[in-house]
Amino acid sequence: MRSPSSHLILSRHVTREFLLDFLVSFIFFFFIFFINQILLLVRQVLLRNVDLITILQLVLCAIPQFLQYVVPFATLSASSMVLGDLGAANELLALRSSGISLVHVHRVLVTWALVLSVLTFFISDYLMPLSSRTYQDLLGDVMRELPTFEIEPDSTNSVGDVVMYNGAVEGDRIDDIVMFTLGGDMGMTVSAPSGRLELVDSASFIYQLTLDDSQVLVTSSDVSDYLAAQASSGSMYLDFSDQVPSLTDTSPSNLSNRELWPLMESRRELRDRDRASFHESRQESLITLASLYDGLSNTAGLADRQSRIDTELSRLDSIGVKEPVQFYFQYYSAEFNKKFALSLGCLALTLVSLPLSLVRIRHGRLVGFGLSLLIAVAYWYILFFSQLVIFDVGFNAGLLMYIPDVAMCVIGLGLLLMRRREL
C-alpha cells in the first residue's frame, strides 16, 4: 500500500504535465479559430482606416465568441498528450508495477476537466454576452465615424447590392460617378459627372448621395420595360444598416442563460398552445369523418355526404400528423442548453481520452495530439449536425446539444470497462 505522499507527488507531476500541454494546445486551437473568424470579421467591416487601438479592442471583444470551443478542445488534447507521453515513457507501467492504480492519474485529469468546465460556462454565459454588447457599442461608434464606402480615386466599391465606380476624389467632391444595383426584379443605373456622399443618419447608417447633372435608367429584369430621366441636380438616400456584421446583433447565442430563460418559457407557452390547437383540430376532423362514414349505409344524400367526406379528408391532410414546431422555442432551447453542453464537453472529451492509458504507443505525445484532433473534428461535426436538425424534431431541441457529450462518454467509459482489470 502506497503512502499518501506518493499519490501527492504523482498528482503534482500529472498536473504539471497537463497544464503545460493545455497551454500548447490552447495556443494551437486559439489561432485556428482566430484566423478563421476574427480576421474575417475585421475584413468584413473594412477597418483599414481605423486606428490600431480600436481594432485591438474589437478583436479582444470578439475573442470570447470562440473560446467556448477552444477550452474543451484544448482540454482533450492536453489529456491525450499526457496519457500518451506517460505511456510511451513506461511511466504508467511503472505505476502499475508499484501497485498504484491508474485511477489516480485519471482522477487528476477529471478534476482539471471539471475546473475547465466551470471556466467554459463562465465564458459562454458571462463573457460572451458582455463582450458582445461592448463590441456592438464600439462598432457602432466606428461605423458612425467612417463612410460605408471607402472612397478612393478611380476605384470600384460594392456594399450589399449597390456597386459604385468613381473617378477623381478631392475633399468631399467625387467625379465621374456611375452606380448600379444588382439583383431584384428592377435594376437601376445612375451616372453623374460629380457628386458628394455624406452620412445623414448615424444611428441607421443612412447616406445621402448628392448628384450634379445626373442621369437615371430603371429597367425590368428582361429589359423590356425601362424608364429614363435626367436632372440638373438630385439626391439619393442609401440605407446600409443591414451591412453591419451579424455579431453586433443581440442573437440568443450572445445572451446569458438568465436572459434566455424567460424568452424560452414564453415560447414554450406558444408551443403548448399550438400543439393543443393542433390536437383539437385533428380530433374534431376525425370525429366528423367518423360520423360521416357511419351514415354511408343510408343511400339518401349519398353524393352530398361523399363530397363532405372528401372535404374533411382534405382538411385532415392539411392539418397533418406531425405536431407543429415552435421555431423560436427550439432555437432558444438549443442555445440555452448548448452553453451547458459545451461546458460538459471538457469532461466528456477527457473521458474519451482515458483509454489511451491502457495502451503503449511510440511517440505518445505526438500520437495523442493527433488522435485528439480527430476526436475534436468528430465532436464538432456531431454538434454541427445536431444544430441543423433542431427544427425537424418535435421534442425539446435542447436535448440534441448533449448528443456529442453522450457519445464521447459512452465510448470512453465503454472502453475503460472492457479493460477495467488493467486499471
Place of cell 506518493: 6
In this prediction, residue 208 carries a pLDDT of: 77
Burial readout 159-188 (b: 16 or more C-beta within 10 A, e: otherwise) = beebebebeeeeeeebbebebeeeeeeebe
Strand pairing report for 186-201 and 162-166:
unpaired
| pLDDT one-digit tens code per residue, 287-314 | 888 877 776 666 555 667 777 778 888 8
| pLDDT (tens digit per residue) in 88-125 | 888 888 888 887 888 889 999 999 999 999 999 999 99
Q: Where are the domains of the chain?
A: 4-144+337-389+398-422, 155-239, 250-328
Rounded CA separation 287/293 (Å): 10
Burial of 45 (C-beta count, 10 Å sphere; 0-12/13-18/19+): buried
What is the identity of the amino acid at 145?
A: E
CA dist 227 to 188, 190, 209, 333, Å?
9, 12, 20, 50
Asked if pLDDT for residue 203 goes beyond 80, the answer is: no
Residue 229: the pLDDT is 79
Q: Which of 171-175, 231-235, 236-240, 334-338 shows the lowest per-residue confidence on average (mean pLDDT)?
A: 236-240
- Does the pLDDT of residue 173 top 90, yes or no? no
Q: What is the pLDDT of residue 19?
A: 95
Question: What is the dihedral angle through the alpha carbons of 381, 385, 387, 388, rounded to the nearest 10 degrees?
Answer: 140
- pLDDT beyond 80 at 336: yes
Amino acid at 192: A
Q: How far is CA 125 from CA 65, 120, 128, 259, in A?
A: 11, 8, 6, 10
Asked if 6 and 100 touch (Cβ cutoff 8 Å), the reply is yes
Q: What's the whole-model pTM score?
A: 0.72
Task: For residue range 65-95, list pLDDT tens digits in order.
Answer: 889 999 999 999 999 999 999 888 888 888 8
What is the bridge-based pairing of β-strands 186-201 and 173-181?
A: antiparallel
Across 120-124, 223-227, 349-353, least confident range? 223-227
Which residue is listed with cell 459627372? 193
All 3 cell numbers of residue 335? 442555445
Reported confidence tier of residue 245, pLDDT bands at 50, 70, 90: very low
